[in-house]
Amino acid sequence: MRVVRPWLALVAVLTLLLPASVAGAVDARIERSRDEVRRARAAAAATSARLDRAAAEYEEARAHLERLANEEADTEGEVARAQRLVNEADAQVRDRVAALYKHPELRVHAFGRAVIASDLGETLHQLELIDQLARGGAEKVARADRAAGRVRAAEKDYRVVSAGVRDALRVRRDRSAALNEALAQARSRVSAADAQLRTVEQTVAAERERRRRARERARRQQLALQEIAGGGPAGGGPLPSVDGKVCPIGAPNAFSDSWGAPRSGGRRHQGVDMFAAHGTPLYALEAGTIRTSDNSLGGISVHLAGASGAAYYYAHLSQRVVVSGQRVAAGEVVGAVGNTGNARSTPPHLHFQYHPGGGAPVNPTPLVAALCRP
């Protein structure tokens, strides 16, 4: 019988303890990595809240500008109407003056007295005619003065409203720039967090592989020691779905409830504008069939007829990656954020509409809030 030397026994004990110590180190590194991921996710949530506030401020400035623009158009129309009244009153005064010249037998003295005709009755008739012409002329002149006053008041209102429009344009430009900057910074931070998460995942995978190799090495070493001792062998895409539906836009993004907000031409907003960096992927909210379209308002657009019977409209895309008739699954990429159509003066965004049962649009904000801010 072979005797196990003391130093070999000690090595065997240390070898058996090695996997446990390695496992503890790996677990500690994994836990630190998970803490980093949790902090990154918390930062992303805070970023979304800040972006939503920036989007709300932009929408407020945009709505204010649209209201002032409509008021400016109304005031401009009032100026034009008042000017027409002035022109009409001027024409009537000119007609009244011309009527005086059509009666050469009437002459008005420098002191306002008519030349007396040879016949008393004719003289009385001339005096009555002059009196009528004078009264009518005074009324026309007064009407012209009132119309001119309306023009001056309307022009003053127009100048005030126009100054407000200029201020609103400046505010909208500032808030648009602030929103673009916030989105760019957020995307940079989220990209860094994504890269960090990938690094963490790679680290975890590497640690797991290192643990597996360590266990294998320990097993082989234990077998070798047992043999020496004379013994035998020893014994990152879309957010998670909610009820089969996913957020239609990638992160980071920003939106606020702009349903019914005024738009150009007296229209009302029939969707929600979801702001994100140019090229951010867009996803099918649910499984369904695609129809594509292009027009001057929505630009590059996608219509999704969902399996649930609801319909969805995606507008202002920078590009599409689907074709009409194509069937897609929930979360499948359909295009990317842009500002085509009538959105070229706005930050890149997805104009998103929700049509329950394929009918008239309803406010989609509660739907996207449930999917994009779970």
User: Domain with 67 in it: what CATH number?
Assistant: 1.10.287.2610
Give which of 121, 95, 117 is closest to 105, Cα–Cα.
Answer: 117
Give which of 150, 132, 179 is closest to 89, Cα–Cα.
Answer: 150
What pLDDT is recorded for position 357? Answer: 97
Q: In this structure, what token pair is assigned to residue 201?
A: 């995942």
Whether 155 and 104 have beta carbons less than 8 Å apart is answered as no
269 and 231 fall within a common domain: no
Whether 364 and 256 have beta carbons less than 8 Å apart is answered as no
Whether 290 and 313 have beta carbons less than 8 Å apart is answered as no
Helices and strands, number each (H, E), in the chain:
3, 8
Mean local confidence (pLDDT), 262-276: 92
Q: Is residue 146 part of a domain?
A: yes
* d(C-alpha 248, C-alpha 283), whole Å: 5
Give which of 5, 51, 104 is closest to 249, Cα–Cα.
Answer: 51
Of 334 and 13, the one with more pLDDT: 334
Mean local confidence (pLDDT), 237-246: 84
* Structural domain ending residue among the three candidates 236, 252, 283: 236
Q: Which residue has the tokens 């100054």?
A: 163
Mean local confidence (pLDDT), 331-336: 91
Q: Is residue 256 part of a domain?
A: no
| DSSP-assigned states of every residue in 251-276 | SS-B----TT-B-GGG-B--SEEEE-
279 and 212 fall within a common domain: no
What pLDDT is recorded for position 108? Answer: 47
Q: Is residue 343 part of a domain?
A: yes
99 and 190 fall within a common domain: yes
What pLDDT is recorded for position 134? Answer: 57
Q: Is residue 249 part of a domain?
A: no
C-alpha of 210 from chain center: 47
pLDDT for 228 beyond 50: no
* Structural domain ending residue among the three candidates 216, 236, 256: 236
175 and 311 fall within a common domain: no
279 and 226 fall within a common domain: no
15 and 56 fall within a common domain: yes
Q: Is residue 250 part of a domain?
A: no
Cα–Cα distances (Å) from 374 to 48, 164, 242, 248, 251, in that order, read: 12, 39, 9, 13, 13
* Structural domain ending residue among the three candidates 236, 256, 285: 236
Range of 38-42, 118-122, 174-178 with top mean pLDDT: 174-178
CA angle 313, 318, 319 (to 5 degrees): 80
Q: Confidence class of residue 29 from pLDDT cuts 50, 70 and 90?
A: low
Q: Confidence class of residue 285 from pLDDT cuts 50, 70 and 90?
A: very high
Q: Provide CB contacts within 8 A for 364, sequence distance 6+.
A: 259, 271, 272, 352, 353, 354
Phi first, then psi, for residue 245 (nearest 5°) are -120, 150
Which of 2-6, 176-180, 217-221, 273-277 has the weakest average pLDDT?
2-6
| DSSP-assigned states of every residue in 311-355 | EEEEEEEEEE---TT-EE-TT-EEEEEB--GGGTTS-SEEEEEEE
Q: Confidence class of residue 337 from pLDDT cuts 50, 70 and 90?
A: very high
Q: What is the pTM (predicted TM-score) of this model?
A: 0.54
293 and 227 fall within a common domain: no
In our burial notation (b when 16+ CB lie closer than 10 A, e otherwise), range 161-174 reads beebbeebeebbee
193 and 313 fall within a common domain: no
CA angle 194, 198, 199 (to 5 degrees): 115
| pLDDT, tens digit (0-9, with 9 covering 90-100), for 242-257 | 899 999 999 999 999 9
Q: Is residue 253 part of a domain?
A: no
Mean local confidence (pLDDT), 326-350: 94
211 and 134 fall within a common domain: yes
* d(C-alpha 303, C-alpha 294), whole Å: 11
* d(C-alpha 270, C-alpha 363), whole Å: 7
* d(C-alpha 282, C-alpha 335), whole Å: 5
280 and 134 fall within a common domain: no
Give which of 183, 362, 173, 181 is closest to 277, Cα–Cα.
Answer: 183
Mean local confidence (pLDDT), 47-62: 76
341 and 278 fall within a common domain: yes
Q: Is residue 169 part of a domain?
A: yes
- 295 DSSP β-pair partners: 299
DSSP 117: P
Mean local confidence (pLDDT), 163-171: 74
The range of the structural domain enclosing residue 332 comes to: 264-372
Task: Report the number of distinct structural domains present in the chain.
Answer: 2
pLDDT for 10 beyond 50: no
Mean local confidence (pLDDT), 140-167: 70
Helix (H) or strand (E) run with residue 227 in it: helix 120-229
pLDDT for 298 beyond 90: yes
Mean local confidence (pLDDT), 206-210: 85
pLDDT for 216 beyond 80: no
Q: Is residue 258 part of a domain?
A: no
| pLDDT, tens digit (0-9, with 9 covering 90-100), for 78-113 | 667 767 776 776 676 666 666 655 655 444 443 344
189 and 227 fall within a common domain: yes
What pLDDT is recorded for position 188? Answer: 74
Cα–Cα distances (Å) from 193 to 188, 198, 220, in that order, read: 9, 9, 40
Q: Confidence class of residue 261 from pLDDT cuts 50, 70 and 90?
A: very high
What pLDDT is recorded for position 18? Answer: 44
pLDDT for 288 beyond 70: yes
Mean local confidence (pLDDT), 194-212: 79
